[in-house]
Amino acid sequence: MNAYISAPDLTDSRFAQQHPLRILVAEDNYINRRLMLFQLKSLGYIADARENGRECLDAVLEGSYDVVLSDIDMPEMTGIECARAIRDAGFGLAIIAVTALSPEITKKECFEAGMSGFMRKPVSLSELKRTLREVSLRKWVNEVNLVVTANA
């Protein structure tokens, strides 16, 4: 069985209930975009998707997302440029780079642009789950900190 698509021990449609997140996928390649949406759906998520960095930025500015899963090499606006623009606009959501590019070259650039994580293509379902679990935990910790601070 192909681990990038599904495996009985990794596919869990309840995962999204345990780790609720509003997800935006930014990917210009149709097949890669559909595969990521399929993987997210197998975990119980209904994610939004955009075809380039400009559309992604517009969606973040208009919507309410917890995480962006962003390709790096996209037309109109790269994932790096989009991440910088999201941070410059004051948004603190998680931005995860999803790329087939060399990790030695792009990881540093991704983190300097304000991205909070990095996944190499092809993304396995187990890596996607691990990443979303981490994003969900960080979101929960931030929410708890806001409540504690507000009550202090």
For tokens 């981490």, the residue is: 134
DSSP three-state, residue 12:
coil
Candidates 104, 102, 107; CA nearest to 117 is 107
Going by pLDDT thresholds of 50, 70 and 90, the confidence category of residue 9 is: very low
Residue 63 carries which side chain, given as an amino acid letter?
A: G
- Does residue 44 contact residue 14 with C-beta atoms inside 8 Å? yes
- Residues linked to residue 26 through DSSP beta bridges, in sequence order: 50, 70
* Domain annotation for the chain: domains and CATH numbers: 15-151 (3.40.50.2300)
Predicted confidence (pLDDT) at residue 81 exceeds the cutoff of 50: yes
Over the stretch 100-144, which tens digit does the pLDDT of each residue have? 876 666 788 899 999 999 999 999 999 999 999 999 999 888 765
pTM over 0.75: yes
The total number of residues shown for the chain amounts to: 152
